């Protein structure tokens, strides 16, 4: 179970915050419109999947721990 907690924490804290910061900086950047739009689409896709990973890991953790509460 500890490895699942480690993975969840990694996805929720490290990866999500890194991509969110990147998206904020992209919006403020002086990149040309086409590059900015392409980069933002890719970063949003990565962020969506990372959040989905967190949801999947939460479900597995709940299943492994045998709990029936909604943690989130």
Partner 1 sequence: MSTEDLLNDLREILDVETKAKDLYNDYLGRIDDKLIVDSLTNIRDDELEHVKLAGKLIDTIGRSRPQDIFIIEALTDFAESFPAVLVSTSVEKYLGSNLTILRYLINQKNLSCIYVAVNKPSSSLLRSFRKEGIDVDRMYFVDCTTVAGKEERRIVVSAGNLTDISIAISEWIQKVPLRKFVHLDAISTLYIFNPSDTVERFLHALVAKLRENNVGQVLIAMRDEMEKKSLDLLTSLCDSKIET
Q: Footprint of partner 1 on this chain (CB under 8 A)?
A: 3, 6-7, 10-11, 14-15, 18-19, 21-22, 25-26, 28-32, 35, 38-39, 42-43, 45-46, 49-50, 53, 56-57, 60, 63-64
Integer Cα distance of 58 and 52 in angstroms: 10
Least Å distance, CB 70 to partner 1, is 18
> How many CB atoms within 10 Å of residue 57?
19
Do residues 48 and 20 make contact, with C-beta atoms less than 8 angstroms apart?
A: no
Integer Cα distance of 28 and 18 in angstroms: 16
Least Å distance, CB 53 to partner 1, is 5
Least Å distance, CB 69 to partner 1, is 20
């Amino acid at each position: 179970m500890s490895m699942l907690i480690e993975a969840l924490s990694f996805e929720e804290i490290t990866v999500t915050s890194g991509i969110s910061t990147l998206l904020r900086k992209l919006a403020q950047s002086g990149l040309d419109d086409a590059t900015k739009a392409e980069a933002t689409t890719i970063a949003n896709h990565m962020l969506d999947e990372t959040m989905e990973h967190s949801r999947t890991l939460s479900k597995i953790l709940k299943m492994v721990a045998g709990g029936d509460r909604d943690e989130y």
